[in-house]
Amino acid sequence: MDDGGPRRIAFQGERGAYGDEAARAFFGPSAVLVPCPSFRAVFEAVAEGRVDGGVVPMESALAGPVAEVVDLLLEFTPRLSGELRLRVRHCLLAPPGRPLASLTRALSHPQALAQCASWLRRHDLQPVPEVNTAVAARRVSEEAPEGTAAIASRAAAELYGLAIVAEGIEDSPDNATRFLAVGPALPPRPGTRWKTSLVLTLNDGPGALASVLGAFAARGVNVARLESRPGGVRAWDYRWCLDVDGAQDVPEVRAALEEARSVCTSLQVLGSYTVSD
Ligand SMILES: O=C(O)C(=O)Cc1ccccc1
């Protein structure tokens, strides 16, 4: 439904969240961004057609997969239309006039806490999970709890009137998060590096996974990501998520998918899309 009007795009959190930044970077200033209280609410809004699409973080270079989002991708199997790698630079934020020495706790999304784990240990700050970085910043601003800081972006500091106590506190200088654009109403973004994401379940038997991987290897198609999640039909059955390089209409990818399908109990392509940095 690309009628040329502004797109409504859902993200988890509130203004100043990294999802907000990723959605703006993806869809530009004309997009109407729709904040949602949870990742599930983003997927529901997309599935029910209340928005044109959504933006969700699915993996961090530093802290690994966002398991909740991976599981929601498996549950909702939405169409994927783009990947954005967002450089994430975290700040420690506190109400003005509270120096680092007075702080004992840091509130943030678990991904942000994990990405700053060594810094927090070095500064003796207790990590406290919150649903989202922007929510953490707003709460610290509104409630100003004793000794409590938030980990969030510079944009969140400005929006919620907090002081930046420290900036760039992530444990790696190239901390980045992969965000996905989800939703059937979104056309693929123009770009050159194509990827295809699929989810599958395997026959239980020796060599089942090797056969799937072999189908891609035999045609020179790179498997860029392979992840297993619980939740197959029986206990200890797994669902597998694969990203392969190339679009699904490229002959090698198409043939590999066909062969892989014949050795899987189920195989669903979530979409082919381009990657932007
Ligand atoms: O909490 C947020 O702002 C999010 O969008 C989730 C997140 C947290 C840390 C890094 C990337 C995304």
CA 1 to CA 62: how far, in whole Å? 36
ipTM over 0.95: yes
Measure Cα distances from 86 to 23, 135, 174, 204, 262 in Å.
Answer: 10, 19, 10, 38, 36
Q: Is 27 tagged catalytic?
A: no
Question: What would you report as the CA-atom Rg of the chain, rounded to the nearest whole angstrom?
Answer: 20
Residue 265 lies in a domain: yes
pLDDT of amino acid 232:
67
CA 171 to CA 119: how far, in whole Å? 7
Q: How many CA atoms lie within 13 A of 196 on its CB side?
A: 20
Residue 3 lies in a domain: no
| Phi, psi values for residue 180, rounded to 5° | -115, 140
Cβ distance 84 to 25 under 8 Å? yes
Q: Tens digits of per-residue pLDDT, 132-167?
A: 999 999 999 999 999 999 999 999 999 999 999 999
What does the pLDDT average to over 84-89?
95
Cβ distance 12 to 110 under 8 Å? no
Q: Can you list the alpha helix ranges (DSSP code H) found in the chain? A: 18-27, 39-47, 67-76, 110-115, 117-122, 133-143, 154-160, 208-217, 251-262
Residue 3 has pLDDT above 60, yes or no: no
47 and 80: one domain? yes
List pocket residues of ligand 1, CB cut-off 6 Å: 13, 17-19, 57, 88, 109, 111-112, 132-134, 177
What CATH number is associated with residue 123? 3.40.190.10
| Phi, psi values for residue 232, rounded to 5° | -75, -160
Beta bridge partner(s), residue 194: 274
Residue 243 lies in a domain: yes
The least confident of 48-52, 166-170, 200-204, 221-225 is 200-204
Q: Which domain holds residue 118?
A: 91-167
CA 200 to CA 209: how far, in whole Å? 10
CA 18 to CA 87: how far, in whole Å? 10
Output the CA 90–ligand 1 centroid distance in Å. Answer: 10
**Tokens matching residue 192:** 């050159």
pLDDT band at residue 4 using 50, 70 and 90 as cut-offs: low
82 and 17: one domain? yes
Residue 113 lies in a domain: yes
pLDDT of amino acid 179:
97
Residue 24 lies in a domain: yes
77 and 139: one domain? no
pLDDT of amino acid 233:
67
Q: Tens digits of per-residue pLDDT, 14-61?
A: 999 999 999 999 999 999 999 999 999 999 999 999 999 999 999 998
**Tokens matching residue 236:** 């200890």
DSSP per-residue letters across 164-194: EEEE--SSSTT-EEEEEEE-TTPPPPP-S-E
Residue with tokens 């549950």: 75
Residue 188 lies in a domain: no
Catalytic residue chosen out of the listed positions 77, 133, 177, 196: 177
265 and 231: one domain? yes
Give the list of residues 6+ apart from residue 21 with CB closer than 8 angstroms, or none: 86, 153, 155
Cβ distance 16 to 151 under 8 Å? no
**Tokens matching residue 243:** 């990203």
Q: Is 177 tagged catalytic?
A: yes
Output the CA 223–ligand 1 centroid distance in Å. Answer: 26
pLDDT band at residue 1 using 50, 70 and 90 as cut-offs: very low
Output the CA 133–ligand 1 centroid distance in Å. Answer: 6
CA 98 to CA 103: how far, in whole Å? 7
Mean pLDDT (the chain, rounded) = 93
> Could you give the number of structural domains in the chain?
3
